[in-house]
Amino acid sequence: MTDVQQHATEIHEQFSDTLDISVEEVEERLETLVNEYRVPAEEARRSVTSSYLDKADMDREELGGDSEERTIESIEVPEQWVDLTVEVLQLWEPMSESVAQVGLLGDETGTIKFTAWATSDLPELDEGGTYRLENLVTDEYEGRFSVKLNRTTSIEEIDEEIDVPESGGTSEEREIAEIDTPEEWVDLTAKVSQLWEPRSESIAQVGLLGDPSGTIKFTKWATSDLPELDEGGVYRLENLVTDEYEGRFSVKLNRTTGIEELDEEIEVGDDAIAVEGALVDIQRGSGLIKRCPEDDCTRVLQN
């Protein structure tokens, strides 16, 4: 049986109770994508599956599947059902109301991001807890794998220790301007340029780090139990995890982060971008305004 035939059979089994489709029909759609459009078999499967999900008005998590025990390191294909035995290394602040929990899981082989959806109605995971998680779905974005907890996921807290690699991965010395990928482990030598007021009880400190190459936002979780950073202080920070939201990168301090205060000065660079040119036209309502140049006059002359 070829890969396409195998995929067709499995897709048919997933939808046989909800859609009137044949294995031959599924196989034909897959072959069109693979042979005519040169789409990789796994990507073709995702495309056809998504099409049938829309047709059946189903969520992906309703499909279920035969999950198998895996280590984090062995996850290399999206949309697989897996079981993991892991420790919750970090919990992060969800950026959306649709997300109940998001953070980092670890086992003896590495770490992986997880997301639990608000609609999944699952018990919360505790940072530092060890769990047996069954029926997770793997996902991939720009070469980075993650796992999703869904309504079919079972969660069992277990009383055992997991020897997670100290940094969850190999951290590398970086300059701030070099950070361009999320979920990487990095080391920084940086100055605390600013400290901001945390907007959540789960955050111990939040602010801005700087080095000669630029600045970056940092977050230190309350559960990380780390010493406080002082505004204006210079530190050697090891085992930070990079994050990204809407194109903006940041770093997270976690329980494995090493903090060493240094007796040195750092000149923080300006990472702002300067653009020179002639303004040919400004669209009305752009937000750029011209005000009266006279002292004590704030009247808008042009908007």
| pLDDT above 80: residue 127 | yes
At residue 167 the predicted structure's pLDDT band, cuts being 50, 70 and 90, is low
| pLDDT above 90: residue 225 | no
**What pLDDT digit, counting tens, does each position of 181-205 carry?**
888 889 999 999 999 999 888 899 9
Between CA 257 and CA 167 the distance in angstroms is 8
pLDDT at res. 114? 96
| pLDDT above 90: residue 140 | no
**What pLDDT digit, counting tens, does each position of 68-80 carry?**
899 999 998 888 8
| 178 touches 140 (CB < 8 A) | no
pLDDT at res. 302? 60
Measured CA distances, 124 to 99, 106, 138 (Å) = 12, 17, 19
What does the pLDDT average to over 251-278?
86
Measured CA distances, 79 to 9, 40, 53 (Å) = 16, 14, 14
At residue 168 the predicted structure's pLDDT band, cuts being 50, 70 and 90, is low
| 12 touches 23 (CB < 8 A) | yes
Cα dihedral sign for 215, 216, 219, 224? Answer: negative
Q: What's 4's DSSP letter?
A: H
| pLDDT above 60: residue 84 | yes
pLDDT at res. 289? 72
pLDDT at res. 211? 96
pLDDT at res. 245? 83
User: Which range has the worst mean pLDDT, 44-58, 237-251, 285-299?
Assistant: 285-299
Structure tokens at 152: 């079919």
pTM of the model: 0.56
pLDDT at res. 40? 86
What does the pLDDT average to over 81-93?
91
Q: What's 123's DSSP letter?
A: P
Q: Can you tell me which residue has the tokens 């990079």?
A: 242
| pLDDT above 60: residue 261 | yes
